[in-house]
Amino acid sequence: MIRITCPYCGPRDHQEFAYVGDATLTRPSDDAGADAWYDFVYLRDNPRGPHLEYWQHVHGCRAFVKVLRDTLTHEVLATGTAADDLVAGGR
């Protein structure tokens, strides 16, 4: 079981959350070419180790939470609001 700490509701089971996606992606500009948009929409890395992700607390306050999670061990290293810069060991 993964425990995710919502910045507003506190520690919760991961079943209260929905995975939203990779928090490291940068959206292309509106005038970017089709190749840039294809890469953004369809191509994803499958990282091993610490990775930034967005989760939504759908069965709680509905806030978007940024999670730094180790994809190998599923350990949550840090959590915060979507605007926070996260580092291992805390905010």
Long-range contacts of 25-32 (CB under 8 A, 24+ apart): none
Nearest to 79 by CA among 27, 26, 8: 8
Q: Which two tokens stand for residue 9?
A: 């509701």
Q: What is the pLDDT of residue 45?
A: 84
Q: How far apart are CA 51 and CA 27, in angstroms?
A: 18
Tokens 């509905």 identify what position? Answer: 62
Our count of domains for the chain comes to: 1
For the segment 24-49, what is each residue's pLDDT rounded down to a tens digit?
888 999 999 999 999 999 998 888 99
**47 domain residue, yes or no:** yes
**20 domain residue, yes or no:** yes
Q: What is the pLDDT of residue 88?
A: 58
The CATH number of the domain holding residue 40 is 3.30.2270.10
Average pLDDT over residues 55-79: 96
- pTM of the model as a whole: 0.84
**86 domain residue, yes or no:** no
Residue 60 has phi, psi (to 5 degrees) of -155, -125
**72 domain residue, yes or no:** yes
**49 domain residue, yes or no:** yes
Residue numbers of the domain that contains 50: 3-27+34-81
Average pLDDT over residues 10-23: 96
